[in-house]
Structure 1
Amino acid sequence: MRNYLSTALLATLALACTPKEEETTIDYTTLSDAERLEVAKEIAQETIMVDGHVDLPYRMKVGGFTLQREILDVSVRTDGGNFDYPRTKEGGLDAPFMSIYIPAGLQAMPGASKALADSLILMTERLTTTFPDKFAMAYSPADIEANFEKGIISLPMGMENGSGLEDDISNVAYFHKRGIRYITLTHGKDNLIGDASYDTTGTYGGLSEYGEQVVKEMNRVGIMVDLSHVSDNTFRDALAITKVPVIASHSSVRKFTPGFERNMSDELIQAMAKNGGVMMINFGGTFIDSAYAAGSGKVREHLVNYMVENNLSRTDSAFEVYAAEYTAANNPFPTVQRVADHIDHVKNLVGIDYVGLGSDFDGVGDSLPTGLKDVSMYPNLIAELLKRGYSREEIEKICYKNIFRVWTAVEEYAATAE
C-alpha cells in the first residue's frame, strides 16, 4: 500500500499481498469512513478508470480554445469547469471519453454539424500534441492500457449527436478514421437518424430508415452505438438491429426521476443487459434525483428576489458571499450517495456486469452532487460503494472492465464484418 495510508490501516492490510488476497482478508464495511476513503484513493490510482462522457472539447470551444493557442489551459488547475489535468490525476481518472458535442440547432444548416465535429476533434488532438507528457489519444482498450502504464491520461472520443454524419452514410467510416469510437444517435431534437427523448414530435416513431443503415454501418466499422438521448422507441429499434452490445454513455435510472424519458426505465435496462451492453451513470442533479429541480428552483428564486430587494448584481461581492452562504444552508443538491443508489439499482436489477460511469462533467453545469463536483472526487463514490459492500472486483468492472468488454466485442465484430 502507498505511504499515505495510516499506520492502523497498514496493520489491517498487512496480510494482503495481492488484490485477490486482500479481497479475502478485508471487510471494507468495517473500516472507518476515513480509512475507507484512503482505500478508495488507492483503488482509484491502481485501477484503470473510464468515464463515458466528459464535455471538455465544447467547454474549450466556448472558453476560447483555438488551434493556435490554448486560452483555456487544462494542463494546469483551472478556476472553473469540472476537468483539468491536476484534478484528473488526483481522482484517478485515466480515460475520459471526450464528447464531440454537436448542438441540435446546427441540424438546420447543412454541413455545419460535420464541420463542428471536425474542429472539436482537432482541439482534442491538439491537447495531446501540446502536452504529450500528460495526454494521449486512445482508439482502443489496448491504447488505454498502454497509456495507463505510462501514467498518461487517455482521450478516447465519442460523438454526441449523430447529426454530425449529415445525410451521408460514408461519414460513419470517415469518423471512425478520425478516431470516433461511439456515436450518440440523437441529442435534443429528432434528427435524420431517429427520435430523441427531449423531443415530443416522434418524427419516425423510433429509428428512421437511414438510422437503421447507420446502426448497421456503425457495427460494420467498429463504432459503439450509444443510446443516451434517444427516445424509448429509438432505443428498442436500435437494440433490434444491432449485432453487438450497445452503450448508454451518460444516462441514469428513471425510477428516481419518474417521467424523465432521458433516463432509462427498468424495461430498457433489462433489454440492454440482455444485449450485453452497459449503461454509464450520469452524475447530473436532474438525472439522479427528481427533487433537485424543485429544490434548486426555490434557491434561484430566493436569490433573484434578494438581488432585486438589495439592488445588487450577480457580480457584486456582497451578493456572491450571501449566495454561497444561502445555498450552503439550503443545499438543493443530491449527494454522492444518490449516485451509488443508481448503481445499486442496476446491479440489483440485472447484475454488476452492465453498469459503468458516465459523469457528464463539464456538461451539466453546477448541478453536480455534493461529493462529486469534479474529476478529483471519484474516490468519494468508490468509498461509498465499499461502504455498501462492493468488492474490489465489482468496482473494477464499474470503472473499466464492463466498457472494455463491450468495446472489445464491437472491435472483434468489425474485424470480421464484410
Structure 2
Amino acid sequence: KLNEKGEAYDRFSICLDEMDVLLKNNGISRALNGSDLKAAHKKHQPVVIQAVEGGHFIEDKLERLEMAYNRGLRHLGLLHDNPSLVPLGDIYTEPVRYNGLTESGMNVIKECNRLGILVDLAHCSDQAINDGIKVSGKPIIISHTGLNTRPGGNEKMAKMMMPRLISKEQAKIVADAGGVIGVWTHLADSPQEYAENIRAMADVTGIDHVCIGTDTKIAPASNDQFGTRTNQSWEHVSKGFFYTVVKALLDARFTEDDIVKIGGGNYCRIFDTGTAAGISVRK
C-alpha cells in the first residue's frame, strides 16, 4: 500500500524504465494504435500494448497521464484492489464511499479520451462503471470479470470472487454502450467450462462485446491457477493457452468468425477506437 504522495508515481516511472529495457533487449516495440497492431500482425512481429492496472500514479496531476502516454501507455485500468491516495471512485471489493466515480476519476477518463488511451473499468463498482460510460466519449472495456450467475463449483473461490463478478443487467449496459467484457479463466475448472462461460456472456452481450480476459501472466510455468500463469490455467494441458481455448471454443460449436472476435478482434476494435486521439461519440 502506498501512503506517501509521489510514491505511486515513482514506482510507475521505475516500472516503465524496466519495461523499456526489457523490450529493447528483446527487440519488441509497443503498439500505439490499431494500425500498429495490423502492421505487426502482417509482418508476424510480436508487439506489446503498454497497460497499467490502477491510476494511483496520477494523484490528480493529469500531466502525468500525458507523460505516460508519451512513453507508450495505451490501456489504463482506472482502479485496482487498493484505493489511490487521491480517490478515483468506488472499488467493487470496498465499501461504497463516493457513489461511483469521483470528479478526479471522471477527469482522468476525459483526459484518456483526449490523448487516446483505452479506459478499462475493471475493479469498478456498478455505479462507477455507469459513471464512466456516461462521461466517456468512447467505448470502455472491462478487461477481466465473469457473470455472477456462473461462479463455478469451488464454494470458497465463488464467495471470494462474487463481488468481482458482473450481473447480466450490468453486462448489458456495458455492451449497449459499445463496450467489451473480458471473461476470466479463474472460475473455470477446464477449457470446456471456460468456453461455456464465454458462451453465457456472449448470450447476454452479443458476440461483438466479449473477449478473453485472463488477468494472468504469460511467464514460466506454475501450477497455481489463481492470478499467476496463463499457460498453466488448467492441469493436464499440453499446448499453450490460446491454442487450448480456441479448440475448446471450436468444440463448443462457436464459428470461426466468432472465435476471431473473441480471440482478439473485439479487443483490437475497441483498442483502435480508444487510442484515436480526441473525443469521439460512441457508436
Q: TM-score range by the shorter chain?
A: 0.7 to 0.9
Give 3-state SS (helix, strand or coil) of 1:225's partner: strand
Q: Which residue of the partner structure matches residue 6 of structure 2?
A: 111
Larger of the two Rg values belongs to structure: 1
Retained in 2: the 8 A contact 1:190–1:203?
Answer: no
The whole-number CA distance in structure 2 between the counterparts of 1:216 and 1:416 is 11
Q: Is the 8 A contact 2:137 2:279 kept in 1?
A: no
1:402 alignment partner in structure 2: 266
Distance verdict in 2 for CA 1:267–1:118, change over 3 Å: same
Q: Is the counterpart of residue 171 in structure 1 residue 89 in structure 2? A: no
Structure 1 residue 236: Cα displacement: 1.5
Contact 1:336–1:371 (CA under 8 A) maintained in structure 2? no
Partner of 1:365: 228
Which residue of structure 1 lines up, in the alignment, with residue 37 of structure 2?
144
Cα offset for 1:177?
A: 1.2
RMSD: 2.3
Distance 1:374 1:222, change over 3 A: farther
TM-score (ref. length: structure 2): 0.85
- Structure 1 383/416 Cα, relative in aligned 2: closer, same or farther at 3 Å? closer
| Aligned match of 1:232 | 126
* Pair 1:274–1:262, CA change in 2 (3 A): same
1:345 aligns with 2:247: no
Question: What SS does structure 2 have at the residue aligned with 1:244?
Answer: coil
How far does residue 352 in structure 1 lie from its aligned partner after superposition? 0.6
* TM-superposed deviation, 1:148: 2.4
State whether residues 128 and 136 of structure 1, in contact with CA within 8 Å, keep that contact through their aligned partners in structure 2. Answer: yes
Q: 1:254 to 1:173 in 2, by over 3 A?
A: same
Q: What does residue 246 of structure 1 align with? A: 140
2:185 pairs with one of 273, 283, 292: 283
Alignment of structure 1 residues 88-127 onto 2, 5 Å:
105-106=1-2, 108-127=3-22
2:154: which partner in 1? none
Alpha-carbon distance change, 389 to 250 in structure 1, aligned in 2, over 3 angstroms: same
Corresponding position: 1:162 with 2:55:
yes
Number of residue pairs the alignment of both structures matches: 262
Deviation at 1:228, TM superposition (A): 0.7
Does the Cα contact within 8 Å between 1:184 and 1:228 map onto a contact in 2? yes
Q: Secondary structure at the match of 2:211?
A: strand
Please report how far the alpha carbon of residue 397 of structure 1 lies from its aligned counterpart in structure 2 after TM superposition.
Answer: 0.8
- Separation of aligned partners in 2, 1:275 and 1:373: 37
Check whether the contact 2:149–2:167 (CA below 8 A) recurs between aligned residues.
yes
Distance in 2 between residues matched to 1:416 and 1:248, nearest whole Å: 19
1:4-43 to structure 2, matched below 5 A, reads none
Q: Secondary structure at the match of 1:264?
A: coil
Report the TM-score, using the length of structure 1 for normalisation. Answer: 0.58
